[in-house]
Structure 1
Amino acid sequence: MSLQLPYDWIAPDWPAPARVRAFCTTRSGGVSAAPLDSLNLGRLVGDAPEAVAANWTIVQAVMDADGSPVHTVRTRQVHGSQLLAADARTPEDLEADACTTTQPGVACITMAADCLPVLLTDRAGTRVAAAHAGWRGLAGGVLEEALKPFWPPAPVDQAPAAINNEGEVMAWIGPGIGPQAFEVGAEVREAFMAHDPAAAGCFSALGGGKYLADLAGLARQRLRAAGVAAIYGNDSSPAWCTFSQPSRFFSHRRDSAVLGRSGRMAAAIWLAH
């Protein structure tokens, strides 16, 4: 059974197992007033608490449409790399930028508004994960941390990617700020190049120590290096850029500069009962 998504919410186009459910919201379909209209899911961005609660009720109804209630795990994201292993007893608001579970009916949630939501599953449909991947999280290894539970333990002298895991895990990268809009300083480029000099290919010099960064490209590079060959979703094209589509996506960089705040979207993934 596939989810019936309302409005222009995004269903990942990937060959995930039938029991895997996943989607990413847009800014459409909620009750929040301007400038956070309409489906703002961020609780700490100055929106009316009752509006945010009503918006989450809308999202919850979509998740519960299979007929079994889904327990959502929403973490307090701090642009780090900590992974939370979740189950039906996991409370809200624990600090983590990635979440994983093997328990059916438990949804791993990641929030975003320029940072990338990255969803993961294995081909057997036994585990799912969601990661919040801005540049700090990516450079700090949040995707590698989210992938660790998918891999068998590696010998101490081998990296996980050195084991024959290729094809076992797939990733979907959601909307985020695009390479035409994400201006960063030299320290961002250096943080990625320190991990892999090939990251230089994801930066375009603007002069004055400034660069345009391809965040989705950096995510794909880190995923491939960690052993994930099956990568879907955001290909760095303009269609995925949150900054350049104000009617569809929230963008922290775009909106905060003008309005002082921005709403948040959510990506969710879980295993059906």
Structure 2
Amino acid sequence: MGVTTRGQAPGRGFNLATHVGDELSEVQGRRALLEGEVGAPLVWLNQVHGADTLQVSARADTHLCAPADADASVTRRTDIALAVMTADCLPVVMVARDSRNQAIAVGVAHAGWRGLHGGVLESCLNALMDVAQVKSEQCYAWMGPAIGPQSYEVGAEVRSAFVDQDPQAATAFHPSQRQGRWMADLYTLAKQRLHSVGLETTVGGDFDTFTDPRWFSHRRAQVQSLPAGRIATFVRLLPVPGA
């Protein structure tokens, strides 16, 4: 499991997205470097801020196959790695373990507020439990770099959307200094959603892509009138030695 950083190269640095203006060959070169470090092909997604989860059951040649329209993926394979791209949205890695506490399946999800509201984390967890044949109590989650609760201002409609689904979500919103606006905590919302379906063990959740220059931030780039690159959060299930 890992997360790339923005890097120090000129322009958008170590941007891994193909849709923000970088030359395709440059992005492909960066992706190849990352695959070399991971030691396996990466399965990329065409992220649409939805809730669909891709179950990867076959080794995919990601350079030839068009990425699936999905915002999460899961697998039991050890010869591939899964990835999502973010620049303020929340990446969440999930791991399923067997009765011996051995990792047997992994997943990763891209969760902005629309994905969270739509149930992308629940979708990813359900798919992970399905491929691993385990219960939610045997699954764990790590929350990667996302925009922090002191930086993420949203409109009242976003708060209402969550609170209408679950009144407990009100604890994840605090009034902004601007009237009619709210500061939203993606990490708290994600924990609430996962806890509601039985995944109690979550770690991470103390980043802020807007204020931390290590990461790309879509909102920070908007302030600078620039397009933002994308970092990748990735996970690979490693083979069991001697198996």
Cα distance in 2, alignment partners of residues 186 and 93 from structure 1: 34
Aligned residues: 228
Contiguous gaps of at least 5 residues in structure 1: 1-21, 65-69, 154-163
CA RMSD of aligned residues (A): 1.8
1:255 aligned to 2:221? yes
When normalised by structure 1's length, the TM-score is 0.79
Cα distance in 2, alignment partners of residues 109 and 152 from structure 1: 20
Cα distance in 2, alignment partners of residues 119 and 196 from structure 1: 24
Alignment of 1:216-231 (within 5 A): 216-231=187-202
1:103 aligned to 2:41? no
Q: Which residue of 1 aligns with 2:160?
A: 190
Residues 166 and 140 (structure 1 numbering): CA distance in 2 closer, same or farther, change over 3 Å?
closer
What displacement does 1:166 show?
5.3
What displacement does 1:56 show?
1.0
Which of 243, 247, 254 is 2:210 aligned to?
243
Q: Which residue of 2 aligns with 1:5?
A: none
Cα distance in 1, alignment partners of residues 139 and 156 from structure 2: 33
Which letter maps to 2:29? Answer: A
Cα distance in 2, alignment partners of residues 103 and 97 from structure 1: 19
Residues 152 and 54 (structure 1 numbering): CA distance in 2 closer, same or farther, change over 3 Å?
closer
Alignment of 1:49-88 (within 5 A): 49-64=24-39, 70-86=40-56, 87-88=58-59
Q: Which residue of 2 aligns with 1:122?
A: 96
Contact 2:97 2:105 in 1 (8 A): no
Cα distance in 1, alignment partners of residues 120 and 113 from structure 2: 10
Cα distance in 2, alignment partners of residues 89 and 152 from structure 1: 20
What displacement does 1:152 show?
6.2
Cα distance in 2, alignment partners of residues 212 and 220 from structure 1: 17
When normalised by structure 2's length, the TM-score is 0.88
Cα distance in 2, alignment partners of residues 113 and 257 from structure 1: 14
Q: Which residue of 1 aligns with 2:181?
A: 210
Cα distance in 2, alignment partners of residues 83 and 152 from structure 1: 12
Cα distance in 1, alignment partners of residues 82 and 66 from structure 2: 11
Which letter maps to 1:204? Answer: H
Q: Which residue of 2 aligns with 1:17?
A: none
1:24 aligned to 2:3? yes
Contiguous gaps of at least 5 residues in structure 2: none
Which letter maps to 1:97? Answer: D
Q: Which residue of 2 aligns with 1:43?
A: 18
Residues 166 and 98 (structure 1 numbering): CA distance in 2 closer, same or farther, change over 3 Å?
closer
1:271 aligned to 2:241? no
Cα distance in 2, alignment partners of residues 193 and 71 from structure 1: 40
Cα distance in 2, alignment partners of residues 42 and 190 from structure 1: 32
What displacement does 1:150 show?
3.5
User: What is the percentage of aligned positions where both structures have the same residue?
Assistant: 39
Which letter maps to 1:131? Answer: A
Contact 1:73 1:92 in 2 (8 A): no
Cα distance in 2, alignment partners of residues 97 and 166 from structure 1: 20
Alignment of 1:158-177 (within 5 A): 165=135, 167-177=137-147
Which letter maps to 1:229? Answer: E
Which of 90, 101, 124 is 1:146 aligned to?
124
